[in-house]
Structure 1
């Protein structure tokens, strides 16, 4: 994948970096842990301006976050609660838990969005509950920008400073990303298995 990403960035330039980061936020299998260190390496070799690379990567990533935020807004609380009544076990959440989640998100959502943008896999989907809970777009965009720029800058600067050794960033980050995915999958399976115990009334209708 390194060669493909490198060739794409060489061919399309900064717009290619933005597009790849947008796709990474919509379709996670193309990881930012590969895209941005490689873009940073290209900046170190003089092909692109470092600030422009960070800006392009952050802009593409934010565009993906806004798309998921819009999806959450379109789904809305009422529709999500109807889905929870019908398919609560597989969604791992009940209508009451949705209300509790919205209340929590309205109190702490800004920090959750900012930190979530720093966590592999989580950063892709943290925008959905922000939209569902109707967090103001300005607040969402502000916290998302802080988290996104921090993450994008870290990866880009790692590739910039390591230069030809930028593959080490991927070698270190890939196991971290894999571990996060495994933990999320394990958490989901646990939520499915314990659904009746947590919400017996809804679970009895599944």
Structure 2
């Protein structure tokens, strides 16, 4: 950021979108601090960060679109515990709540980048995708860049507090994953029981 200026913020955030292990919770507050030092303006940092977010989101959207619902459904049919219908139901859910999911997803660590992939699989309206990605990204970027600017040399405190939030989010995601696996196993047992013609309550 110091060497190439505000475009460095956009490049860093582009990489953060494509490679989620690069944390925006570090990059953005540091960009705010760098702006405070006079290397570039806060507005420039925000504009470039949001541009980087949008480009990265569109790359992941394109990946999801290239993969496609049909191919994903075919793969789901071959994976134990899942079936093509799961993909179709997820796509139907995204049709109904996609805009809200994109906006809120851009504000959740660990989710903000990956939310663009199901949007691509669903072939979400490009204008809608762009609008809600811009809104969510601009809000996220403004909060973290602004915090870094206000904290100055203590910009790293943002990452410490956001790290706690990130860990909570990851715990919730793991819990949801465990629940999903349990539900899929239970569904498979029910299907096997029904196929054998056994009473429903005997499966338990």
TM-score range normalised by the length of the shorter chain: 0.7 to 0.9
Tell me, yes or no, if structure 1 residue 112 matches structure 2 residue 101.
yes
Contiguous gaps of at least 5 residues in structure 1 = 1-8
Deviations 1:79-108 (A, max 9, x none): 00001001154xxx4321211111111111
Q: Which runs of 4+ in 1 moved over 3 A?
A: 199-202
1:6 corresponding residue in structure 2: none
Matches within 5 A, 1:49-198: 49-89=41-81, 93-198=82-187
- Which of 4, 13, 20 does residue 12 from structure 1 map onto? 4
TM-score (norm 2): 0.88
Shift of 1:190: 3.1
Specify the alignment match of 2:202 in structure 1. none
Name whichever structure is richer in helix by fraction: 1
The answer to whether the 8 A contact 1:94-1:199 is kept is no
Q: Matched residue of 2:112: which SS?
A: helix
8 Å contact kept, 1:18–1:57: yes
Q: After superposition, what is the alpha-carbon deviation per residue over 1:154-196, rounded to whole angstroms, capped at 9, x for unaligned?
A: 1000111111221111110011112212322332233234322
RMSD: 1.6
Whether the 8 Å contact between 1:39 and 1:53 is mirrored in structure 2 is yes
Structure 1 position 43 matched with structure 2 position 35: yes
Rg comparison, structure with higher value: 2
Unaligned runs of 5+ in 2: 193-204
Q: SS of the counterpart of 1:70?
A: helix
Distance in 1, matches of 2:172 and 2:21, equals 17
